[in-house]
Structure 1
Amino acid sequence: MSKEQATYSHGHHQSVVSSHARRTVHDSAAFLAPHIQPTHHILDVGCGPGSITADLAALVPEGRVVGVDAVASVLDQARARVRRRRRQRAAYADATFDVVYCHQVLQHVRDPVGVLREMRRVAKPGDGGGGGSFVAAREADYGGFAWYPADAGLDRWGALYQAQAVASGCEPNAGRCLHAWARRAGFAPEHTQTTVTSWCYTGARARQWGEMWADRAVHSGFATVVKDKGLGTEEGLQAVSKAWADWAMKEDLFFNVPSTEILYRVPPTTPT
């Protein structure tokens, strides 16, 4: 993979990693799962704490799953999780993977097109049959988030999130860009399926989301970037944190996180 220069503004505070560890194949890779075969070799790019990686491993009892991430501490957690699921993580070579997948990664990199090209490069050429080889990605669109009840403090958080992501060299609205990035990376439209799904939280799960962001607003990499880039103050971040905590205590909570997905079926002969 190419060297990345963007800043991962979420950071790896426990509030971030715990949230990421709740992700599953069901809620984050349902668009890909029906295409996975028991013998597939899968590369999970930016695997984080490995919850999706472990789920993928369960789908390939005769295959292999490799998870890669830039941060050693989350890889340690991923290794432990995958060991508990009795799957092996191994080194990988170019052009050996049947499936190359990333989830909520491209929004955090400076060159998402370059990363997609690399993902395509390490995927096997397709076999021309019903199984084939795939490159898959799923990216959120922060500009499309919606919540109830309305809250001015959460509006402020949304504006700060956009500003700190851009200041970090990232694209917070990656979901709406994903299909264009894929085309520029050489993914032919006729071989690329584009879909949109959402995480829709209500009740206790929405409350957990609010409490998580109340913590992240002051303790995670998000807070560090906001202050370091002169986008806000500690006092302002405390106000955003309180807004999240207060919102989480309200009735009839609703929070929607839309994400765009691309599923590229690699053709039998991959152009150079």
Structure 2
Amino acid sequence: MTTVLPSSRTGTSSSVYASSHDPATLRTHKWRNVANSAAYLVPYLKPDMKILDVGCGPGTITIDLARYVPEGYVIGVEYANKPLTAARELAESEKVTNVQFAIADALDLNKYADDSFDVVHAHQVLQHVPDPVKALKEMRRVAKPGGIIAARESAAMTWYPKVPEIEQWYTLHIKVGKELLGGSPDPGSYIHVWAQEAGFARKDITCTAGTWCFNTPEDRKWWSSVWTQRVVTPRSIENAVDRGGYCTKEDLFNMANAWENWGRDENGWFTILHGEIICRK
């Protein structure tokens, strides 16, 4: 395994992430694995590959990817150290040794040389950086000739029943992410266009789609409990009320209550459509 140098970045990151690394948000991210979030990449994986996982969060996808490359290794990078503590602990507890974690910025992967990795992967990351094309250029730079750049981003959300407060939540999600923070919420339908702007020929980009669907009693209970908490975190209140002025604190608690009620509805159904790209360098 290669030696990773300590991060040289000490200032603010280029992330425009709307959430914080609070327990509710990390609980959402820890649910993710290769099967539910990166299955489109599996056919391309080989046992000896070197993979860079950009924006790895608490590392559940990263660690899962490492199981697919037992003769290779995976490096997960994140702009903040907080989720990496949980990632390292998880890797140790699951005895996955061909994985490591480091601090790095998606827009400046300068600790990694050109042509270093067989696969460079990012899940739900491009929407949270101010310049997703630059991020893809960096991912392309560190990929080997003939290597793969893989990205997956949410494209749309739909649900039943059409609760007004959840409609309000989704509108708020877009406004905070785009207007206030300068990100690109739900860009999955056009990430292949970003890839072309980053230097990939259209013929070298494969587009697919995947979904998350929460409709069983267990799934609804989990998904609703996560959003009941996430919608009223201090960061959510700061962005939506204090900085954005998009709603009141009472509005947020009404949204949280609506999420809780949705979770109890036996007909409740929530689906997220994701756009996926495999780009060949």
Same fold (TM over 0.5): yes
Distance 1:163 1:73 in 2: 26
1:41 to partner: Cα distance: 0.3
Deviation at 1:180, TM superposition (A): 0.8
1:85 to 90, 95, 115: 95
Task: Work out the CA distance in 1 between the residues paired with 2:152 and 2:13.
Answer: 19
The answer to whether structure 1 residue 157 and structure 2 residue 169 are counterparts is yes
Gaps of at least 5 residues in structure 2 are 1-6, 103-110
Tell me the amino acid that sits aligned with residue 215 of structure 1. Answer: Q
Quote the residue 1:29 is aligned against: 38
Deviations 1:183-206 (A, max 9, x none): 100111101101111101112202
Partner of 1:269: none
* Higher-RCO chain (CA-CA 8 Å, sequence separation at least 6): 1
For residues 1-272 of structure 1, the aligned pairs below 5 Å read 5-83=14-92, 84-87=94-97, 88-89=99-100, 93-94=112-113, 95-126=115-146, 133-141=147-155, 144-166=156-178, 167-203=180-216, 204-219=218-233, 221-227=235-241, 228-266=243-281
Structure with the higher fraction of residues in strand conformation: 2
The 1-side partners of 2:134 and 2:221 are apart by 37
Q: CA RMSD in A?
A: 1.7
1:220 Cα shift?
A: 5.4
Q: CA deviation at 1:215?
A: 0.6
The answer (yes or no) to whether the contact 1:9–1:165 under 8 Å persists in 2 is: yes
Aligned residue-pair number: 258
Shift of 1:12: 1.0
- TM-score for both structures, normalised by structure 1: 0.90
SS in 1 for 2:192: helix
* Amino acid in structure 2 at the alignment position of 1:224: E
- 2:18 and 2:176 in contact (8 A); partners too: yes
Say if 2:15 and 2:79, in contact at 8 Å, map to a contact too: no
